[in-house]
């Protein structure tokens, strides 16, 4: 685990866990395909932590969510998650949250037992944190310690994230500790950002609020940055009509944003064009080779690199090259590297890239962006001592 002074937080090392009942907020929110929950890095990392707590003799009850009510990926039952977590430690699923079945199961626990309760978002009180919250009133008397190990939801002001800290002794968990240590390591060095992906509004949060003065743009974000520099793209001008509303603000920061020297278009296959050849009546799906070489030089000079999101439409044949080449440059460099964004782990697994090449692979999306931008995360603020 990355170790560094993470600031004003108690950790699990500050408590004797044997025979203690621990309520731990984890984040195993996962891709759901045809009703089936897919194994992923979140489940793996939390499974390993639950096993460690079990080995230390604690009695562990996990709160988690899957999707949001009304959304396609919402599942009220987390039984599939419990089965996947059981690859790492025996997890019993209890299809209840605060009523008799849950309370009886918690009361009867033995040292080393692990329980996962029903989706915490199945009760509306999860979205209404307050002192009289029924979730807190029902569960807090049953536990000795509350642990927030879900950095990826700590930007949410929700009951399971912010309310138990006022009712129980509290600390951060091992997954959270690793995430915070990685960010501290990143920020303590001369760093650059490589910002891509399909959510340019998230990138703008970082550009607007960060002290980083060198940003390498890729993906949709790079196309908007080119617009901000006065380029007409062609077909993409219409495709990105909605996203182009961000262009006026991006113009305020173009001096610290590097844009592609060349691009890859879909012309019956991958074809690279110089930026000066814009506009073009084709979709732009990746950065080009000269851009990769230019960005790789910048990576080689940096002490730390944060890469968020793919450089192009990696799902399409021939257009993963920019993303893979940048990851290779980062992996071969001596810099501290933090890879983040929703697609990160998926890309590494899809292309069989060793995670050991990078200092840290974040499990978080929006929370990581907010934290890097200096925002206060509600789930962390309540844990400060």
Closest CA to 38 of 349, 354, 353: 349
In the chain, how many domains are there? 2
Buried b (16+ CB within 10 A) or exposed e, 198-218: ebbebbbbbbeebebeebbbb
Token pair belonging to 12: 């699990």
Coil, strand or helix at 92: strand
The pairs formed by 343-346 with CB atoms below 8 angstroms and a separation of 24 or more are: 343/197, 343/309, 343/310, 343/314, 344/307, 344/308, 344/309, 345/40, 345/41, 346/40
Residue 378 domain-assigned (yes or no): no
**Residues of the chain scoring pLDDT < 70:** 1-7, 341-343
Residue 332's domain comprises 189-372
pLDDT at 2: 42
- Point out the domain boundary residue: 156, 179, 202: 179
Closest CA to 273 of 262, 283, 258: 262
Residue 330 domain-assigned (yes or no): yes
Q: Which residues contact 104 (CB under 8 A, 6 or more apart)?
A: none
pLDDT at 350: 85
pLDDT at 342: 60
pLDDT at 344: 73
pLDDT at 142: 98
Residue 377 domain-assigned (yes or no): no
Token pair 């090449």 is at which residue?
357
Write the burial class of residue 224 (CB in 10 Å: 0-12 exposed, 13-18 middle, 19+ buried): buried
Do 79 and 172 have their domain in common? yes
pTM, two decimals, is: 0.90
Residue 385 domain-assigned (yes or no): no
Do 195 and 221 have their domain in common? yes
- Point out the domain boundary residue: 141, 157, 179: 179
Contact 300, 190 (CB under 8 A): no
Residue 380 domain-assigned (yes or no): no
- Point out the domain boundary residue: 161, 179, 197: 179
CA max distance for the chain: 70
Do 72 and 107 have their domain in common? yes
pLDDT at 319: 96
pLDDT in tens, 29-82: 999 999 999 999 999 999 999 999 999 999 999 999 999 999 999 999 999 999
Residue 6 domain-assigned (yes or no): no
pLDDT in tens, 248-302: 999 999 999 999 999 999 999 999 999 999 999 999 999 999 999 999 999 999 9
Closest CA to 65 of 167, 175, 177, 158: 158
Residue 209 domain-assigned (yes or no): yes
Do 162 and 24 have their domain in common? yes
Do 32 and 170 have their domain in common? yes
Cβ atoms within 10 Å, residue 177: 23
pLDDT at 347: 86
Which H or E element spans position 106?
helix 100-107
Do 227 and 331 have their domain in common? yes
Do 104 and 167 have their domain in common? yes
Residue 2 domain-assigned (yes or no): no
Strands 262-266 and 284-287: antiparallel
Do 105 and 252 have their domain in common? no
Do 239 and 159 have their domain in common? no
DSSP state for residue 164 in the 8-state scheme: G
pLDDT at 3: 43
Supply the CATH number for residue 161's domain: 3.40.50.1260
Do 225 and 286 have their domain in common? yes
Do 34 and 129 have their domain in common? yes
Do 125 and 196 have their domain in common? no
């Amino acid at each position: 685990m990355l170790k560094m002074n993470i600031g004003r937080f108690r950790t699990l090392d500050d408590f004797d866990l044997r025979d203690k009942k621990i309520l731990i907020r984890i984040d195993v929110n996962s891709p759901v395909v045809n009703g089936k929950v897919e194994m992923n890095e979140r489940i793996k990392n939390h499974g390993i932590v639950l096993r460690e707590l079990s080995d230390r003799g604690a009695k562990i009850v996990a709160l988690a969510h899957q999707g949001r009510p009304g959304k396609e990926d919402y599942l009220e039952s987390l039984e599939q998650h419990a089965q996947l977590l059981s690859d790492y430690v025996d997890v019993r699923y209890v299809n209840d949250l605060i009523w008799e079945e849950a309370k009886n199961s918690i009361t009867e626990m033995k040292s080393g037992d692990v329980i996962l309760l029903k989706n915490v978002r199945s009760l509306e009180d999860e979205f209404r944190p307050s002192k009289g919250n029924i979730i807190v009133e029902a569960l807090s008397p049953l536990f000795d310690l509350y642990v927030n190990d879900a950095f990826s939801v700590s930007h949410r002001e929700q009951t399971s994230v912010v309310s138990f800290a006022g009712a129980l002794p509290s600390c951060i968990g091992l997954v959270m500790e690793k995430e915070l240590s990685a960010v501290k390591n990143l920020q303590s060095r001369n760093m650059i950002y490589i910002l891509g992906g399909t959510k340019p509004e998230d990138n703008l949060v970082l550009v607007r609020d960060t002290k980083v003065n060198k940003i390498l743009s890729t993906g949709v974000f790079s196309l908007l940055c080119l617009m901000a520099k006065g380029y007409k793209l062609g077909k993409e001008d219409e495709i990105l009509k909605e996203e182009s509303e961000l262009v006026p603000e991006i113009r305020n920061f173009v001096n610290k944003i590097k844009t592609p020297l060349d691009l890859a278009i879909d012309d019956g296959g991958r074809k690279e064009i110089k930026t000066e050849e814009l506009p073009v009546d084709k979709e732009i799906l990746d950065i080009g080779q000269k851009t990769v070489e230019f960005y790789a030089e910048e990576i080689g000079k940096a002490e730390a690199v944060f890469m968020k999101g793919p450089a192009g439409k990696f799902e399409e044949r021939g257009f993963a090259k920019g993303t893979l080449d940048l990851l290779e440059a980062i992996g071969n460099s001596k810099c501290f590297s933090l890879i983040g964004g929703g697609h990160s782990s998926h890309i590494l697994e899809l292309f069989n890239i060793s995670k050991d090449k990078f200092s840290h692979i974040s499990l978080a999306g929006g929370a990581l962006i907010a934290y890097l931008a200096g925002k206060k995360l509600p789930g962390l603020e309540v844990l400060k001592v």
